[in-house]
Amino acid sequence: MAPVSLDTINPKVLKCQYAVRGEIVTLAQAVQEELKSKPGSRPFDEILYCNIGNPQSLGQQPLTFFREVLALCDHPFILDKSETRGLFSADAIERARQILDQIPGSATGAYSHSQGIKGLRDAIAAGIEARDGFPADPNDIFLTDGASPAVHMMMQLLIRSEKDGILCPIPQYPLYSASIALHGGTLVPYYLDEATGWGLEVSELKKQWADAKSKGITPRALVVINPGNPTGQVLAENNQKEIVDFCKKEGLVLLADEVYQENVYVPEKKFHSFKKVARSMGYGEKDISVVSFQSVSKGYYGECGKRGGYMEVTGFGPEIREQIYKLASVNLCSNISGQILASLVMSPPKVGDESYESYSAEKDGILSSLKRRAKTLEDAFNKLEGVTCNKAEGAMYLFPRIRLPEKAIKAAEAAKTTPDNFYCRCLLNATGIVVVPGSGFGQVPGTWHFRCTILPQEDKIPAVVSRLTEFHKSFMEEFRE
């Protein structure tokens, strides 16, 4: 008798869903294996993973300066060798030395302080100050293995039972629904308005908040993803102010997912951190609780595999901070390479540094290319019959809406799946392109979408567009009534 069965595991685990690595991705992996063992068995010869914000898996190159510093910190022994000067830039060598000086005993193989190495938190706080124009305290920084564990930590802290609600945008990044499910809380959805470019209306927040209250749910926190994932909108500052006021008034913790802060592609929008917005309104530590999540996985760096990130925790009393510290301590600390990288992305080379020019060229190259790709894909989607797609003002995704013929919806039903899932499955089977069905993010009932990253390298984009266009035409033909 197996001691563990689906009937005897934690039902919260069963309930949790995570579409970004869900059914379609498993199917894609199987097709990939098939392509390896039977080349030519499909009308395409590679799988194009547009399901996940994982730039380097699709060929984006890491920033040279960042990697130089990481390599030197991994093997400080070579810092004093003459050959090293031929292999590494002078400012990378200098930065590695500075970082090693900040680490007790220069020991990059030691557990650090549970919040992360103090010197690196100093650098991050200075970077936040430079970005926002308001002070940041290194003691407010908790370095984490990417943003995901930070989100889990806050959910674990806040959620007592299914009576505790977390306001989440719909569509949302499924980390939030997964984490709320795992911690046994209730997701209180608020809908972004697709018609106004995924607008976040405070009236909608108020409505959903009141609705939750009327059901006996206590809303504890509001998740805002800005720039949006999967929706790509960048919030206007005035809108952010209204959101801050709403949280302040209702006593909600503002959980600000700001991991795409470097990814803004339209000149009329600018990223403003929620902490900056709150401070600019005159609200201090005692007025509002704001947690800002940042990650080395996004931006122009895209260092997903390094698992670096941090949360900046403001507006909590010392007794709560102690509890957060304890949660961080139970896992001892986040990985030191990720910690170093988090400090680097918040304090990159400056004008005058040897690496500055090459760094800027690499950075600008990536960001301007992302911008072009976003536009090309957006235009391509909008040309498809029955498809509309809002602009990606920021982040790394498009979330087109697809209007499917009744016959396709029936075919999905017959295949025991949702229409968006059915569409994505057909797309994968016909083209090798992997996207995530809108169901995984949430959508207005009766509407269907999918999320597609803008991350295939530029030389692949024409193929993506033509394969997608061709597929969509034949799909619509097949199911036309």
Per-residue mark of binding to a second copy, 245-264 (x: CB under 8 A): ------xxx-----------
Residues 24, 48, 50, 68: which binds a second copy (CB under 8 A)? Answer: 68
| Beta strands in 330-417, from DSSP E residues, in sequence order | 387-388, 397-398, 401-402
Per-residue mark of binding to a second copy, 388-427 (x: CB under 8 A): ----------------------------------------
Of 313-332, binders to a second copy (CB under 8 A) are 315-317, 319-320, 323, 326-327, 329-332
Is the previous residue joined to 189 through a cis bond, with omega within 30 degrees of 0? Answer: no
Count of residues in contact with a second copy, rule CB under 8 A: 96
Of 160-179, binders to a second copy (CB under 8 A) are 160, 175, 178-179
Residues 33, 75, 135, 410: which binds a second copy (CB under 8 A)? Answer: 75
* CB 473 to a second copy: min, Å: 31
Q: SS3 for 294?
A: strand
One-letter amino acid for residue 263 of the chain: N
If binding is defined by CB under 8 A, does position 83 make contact with a second copy? yes
* Secondary element (H or E) of residue 254: strand 253-257
Q: Do the beta carbons of residue 257 and residue 147 sit within 8 Å? A: yes
Q: Do the beta carbons of residue 136 and residue 240 sit within 8 Å? A: no
Question: Which among 212, 155, 205 is positioned nearest to 178, based on CA atoms?
Answer: 155
Which of 310-319 are b and which e, b meaning 16 or more Cβ less than 10 Å from the residue's Cβ?
bbbbbbbeee
In the complex with a second copy, the residue whose CB is nearer, 110 or 130, is 110
Per-residue mark of binding to a second copy, 183-202 (x: CB under 8 A): x-------------------
If binding is defined by CB under 8 A, does position 236 make contact with a second copy? no
If binding is defined by CB under 8 A, does position 100 make contact with a second copy? no
Q: Do the beta carbons of residue 446 and residue 409 sit within 8 Å? A: no
If binding is defined by CB under 8 A, does position 11 make contact with a second copy? yes
Q: How far is CA 102 from the centre of its chain?
A: 29
Of 115-134, binders to a second copy (CB under 8 A) are none
Which token pair is 298?
């996004």
If binding is defined by CB under 8 A, does position 36 make contact with a second copy? no
Residues 138, 149, 230, 348: which binds a second copy (CB under 8 A)? Answer: 149
Write the DSSP symbol of residue 450. E
Of 350-369, binders to a second copy (CB under 8 A) are none
